[in-house]
Amino acid sequence: GENVEQHPSTLSVQEGDSAVIKCTYSDSASNYFPWYKQELGKRPQLIIDIRSNVGEKKDQRIAVTLNKTAKHFSLHITETQPEDSAVYFCAASGTGGSYIPTFGRGTSLIVHP
């Protein structure tokens, strides 16, 4: 089955810096890659996603890039703010026609004011 590795497990940045979280996946048949943000004690919320026919997608300060050849995708957050502090999860799905995502283990992002 699919395997998703996410790095780093913890990322600490200063307010205003950029943050990058990377995920690799194992199955080249995966074609959908969402990112979720989970604040402490809350539900994961979808913040951005990308499909395999697109190399990059942006939404304000957030962007996701996909390299299908290398089987990795990354979340980029620019001009970080304290409210960006949360756990971020990547996922991959689409293998074998399944819509069940495989999640990474999460990255705890801490933005220091």
Partner 1 sequence: SQTIHQWPATLVQPVGSPLSLECTVEGTSNPNLYWYRQAAGRGLQLLFYSVGIGQISSEVPQNLSASRPQDRQFILSSKKLLLSDSGFYLCAWSVQGSDTQYFGPGTRLTVL
Do 33 and 92 meet the contact criterion of CB atoms below 8 Å apart? yes
Q: Which is nearer to partner 1, 78 or 108 (CB)?
A: 108
3-class DSSP state for residue 97?
Answer: helix
Question: Which range touches partner 1 (CB under 8 A), out of 14-22, 52-60, 70-78, 99-107?
Answer: 99-107
- Containing 58, the helix (H) or strand (E) segment is strand 56-59
**Coil vs helix vs strand at 84:** helix
Stretch that binds partner 1, among 16-24, 29-37, 56-64, 68-76 (CB under 8 A): 29-37
User: d(Cα 3, Cα 11) in Å, to the nearest integer?
Assistant: 22
104 binds partner 1 (CB under 8 A): yes
How far are the Cα atoms of 13, 28, 47, 56, 86 from residue 108, in angstroms, in the given order?
11, 27, 15, 23, 6
Residue window 39-78: x/- pattern of binding to partner 1, with contact defined by CB under 8 A: --xxxxxx--x-----------------------------
- Which CB sits closer to partner 1, 43 or 53? 43
Contact residues for partner 1, defined by CB under 8 A: 32, 34, 36, 41-46, 49, 89, 93-94, 99-101, 103-106
